[in-house]
Amino acid sequence: MGGFLFSQKKPQKKPAGKTAAASKFNYNDEFRKISDEIMTNGTAYENLGQLTKGIGPRFSATPGYTKAVEWAEKKLKEIGIEMIWRQEAKAPIWIRGRESLQIKAANGDWKNIRMLSFGNSEGTGGKDLTGEIVVINSTSELNAMSVGQLKDKIAFVNLPMDPRIINTSDSYLLTAKSKLISASVIAKTGAKALIIRSLTTANDDTPHAKMIYYEPDDKVKIPALSIGTRSADELEKLIKKQKVTAKINMTAESKGETTNPNIIAEIPGKKDSKVIVLGAQLDSWDFGEGAIDDGTGVAQCIEVLRTLKALGFENNHTIRVVLYANSENGGQGREMYAAYVKKKDEKHIFALGTDAGGYSPRGFSLDMPPQRRRQIFEWKNYFLPYGVYDFDQTEAIQDISPLKKLDIPLAELVVDTQRYFDYHHSEQDTFDKVNKRELLLGAVAMTQMIFMIDKNW
């Protein structure tokens, strides 16, 4: 009995994450308050429905984006945010217009293939562009080609995302960065157009969009387009058997540029004016609802502010939301915000991005100095009951990325992305693909992280 009583008097270890500020808070209780509020009263799912079904596509320099701006401002006012303003950023005016792809083998008939022009791609002037299709499967094949070798041909790159890479975001980025799908690189072979296999994990015939970048020294800017994975596989099999000709007709054109605003809203800090910023892209592609990319992020950012207001949170630092313009076909919104921060010499202590589809949260990618990472590692046990455990990734690549040049610690919400690239940049990116509970859980994790940063940094 004496041994038992003695054992009960041993001093207990301090819980992970114990800091000077911890004496004021029971973090487990605070995390539970945040979770209970969002899971019971959260409005993110309903807001996402309004944004996607009520407004629809929100492409840069279109009336849809203007409606999204007005909607976001209204929602922020409804939750009691008083500090809301617009920050104009440049946005290209690009019109997709009509587009078609047909193929014909030997003496067969023309067959229509579903396709999507690359964003900002040159068109064919509404005229038919025809040529024999040549397959390129590897960079070694491309490097072996001489300048002009594919003159008057149409290059077809059938490069799948690597299924062996379990993190689908890593697989996507690896493929997306390949010079095989660069119109500027392919143009140097003499090819007059580029067709690529869509960057997707889905096995269907839905084409997925991609953004095009022409180099300043490009003498010729060739049209570029994507096709679904099934069409890509069938096309390559056909080319191995016989000569295949493509007929491309695209009226896509650029008409200069205009401005679209970032929407910025904040809750001023009670202690100082240091800024904790979280952000998501407000724009979407022109053919889908933009639910997972990135309506979910927009809804989550608004939900974080709503929750802090609902709980009467007394924040030490200014907590700011930025809804970025022109993320899909230019990235001018994020560059404008970073330039603003630099010009104003604002002190930002943390930036959090969310742009991965509103799926179940798994952790945070931490792109910051080691000492800051170690501080967040100490908080892991508080997040574990909410299924958030992965703090090992080190790259934050969303619209907050330009802030890295200003030495601002970055973090990105990590979610289960196994289904994300099934729908990403396609007409399948619709509201029905989002699960309400998963979306709200992501907002819970984000709010909990913002709470910890505010109280400890």
Q: Which residues of 320-352 are buried (b: 16+ CB within 10 A; e: fewer)?
A: bbbbbbbbbbbbbbbbbbbeebeeeebebbbbb
List phi, psi (to 5°) of 127.
-105, 155
Q: Is residue 11 part of a domain?
A: no
201 with 183, same domain?
Answer: yes
pLDDT tens digit at each of 457 positions of the chain? 344 333 344 444 444 444 444 457 899 999 999 999 999 999 999 999 999 999 999 999 999 999 999 999 999 999 999 999 999 999 999 999 999 999 999 878 999 999 999 999 999 999 999 999 999 998 888 888 888 889 999 999 999 999 999 999 999 999 998 989 999 999 999 999 999 999 999 999 999 999 998 998 888 999 999 999 999 999 999 999 999 999 999 999 999 999 999 999 999 999 999 999 999 999 999 999 999 999 999 999 999 999 999 999 999 999 999 999 999 999 999 999 999 999 999 999 999 999 999 999 999 999 999 999 999 999 999 999 999 999 999 988 889 999 999 999 999 999 999 999 999 999 999 999 999 999 999 999 999 999 999 999 9
Measured between alpha carbons, how far is residue 316 from residues 137, 268, 273, 373 in Å?
54, 9, 9, 21
3-state secondary structure of 422: helix
Last residue of a domain, which of 224, 251, 278? Answer: 251
239 with 288, same domain?
Answer: no
Amino acid at 118: F
* Token reading at 345: 């010499």
Give the residue from 345, 360, 336, 348 showing the smallest Cα distance to 414.
Answer: 360
132 with 267, same domain?
Answer: no
87 with 108, same domain?
Answer: no
Half-sphere exposure of 96 (CA within 13 A, CB side): 19
Last residue of a domain, which of 226, 251, 276? Answer: 251
pLDDT of amino acid 146:
81
* Token reading at 168: 């689908």
* Token reading at 189: 């072979």
71 with 39, same domain?
Answer: yes
133 with 165, same domain?
Answer: yes
Tell me how far apart the alpha carbons of residues 351 and 321 are, in angstroms, rounded to a whole number: 10
Contact 103, 245 (CB under 8 A): yes
* Angle 453-455-457 from CA coordinates, rounded to 5°: 55
Q: Which residue has the tokens 């004016």?
A: 273
Give the residue from 268, 337, 255 showing the smallest Cα distance to 309.
Answer: 268
247 with 263, same domain?
Answer: no
* Token reading at 172: 């996507």
- Cα four-point dihedral sign 72, 454, 365, 418: negative
Tell me how far apart the alpha carbons of residues 427 and 419 are, in angstroms, rounded to a whole number: 15
111 with 207, same domain?
Answer: yes
pLDDT of amino acid 23:
52
pLDDT of amino acid 7:
38
pLDDT of amino acid 50:
98
Q: Domain count of the chain?
A: 2
Q: What is the DSSP string of 137-191?
A: --HHHHHHPPTTTTTT-EEEE-----TT-SSHHHHHHHHHT-GGG-HHHHHTTT-
Q: Residue 150 is part of which domain span?
A: 97-251
Last residue of a domain, which of 230, 251, 272? Answer: 251
Q: Is residue 7 part of a domain?
A: no
Domain CATH number, residue 415: 3.40.630.10
According to DSSP, the β-strands at 111-113 and 116-117 are: unpaired
pLDDT of amino acid 5:
37
Domain CATH number, residue 240: 3.50.30.30
Distance of CA 92 to the CA centre of its chain: 19
87 with 109, same domain?
Answer: no
56 with 136, same domain?
Answer: no
List all residues 6 or more positions away from 449 whose beta carbon is below 8 Å from its beta carbon: 352, 364, 411
pLDDT of amino acid 147:
83
pLDDT of amino acid 18:
45
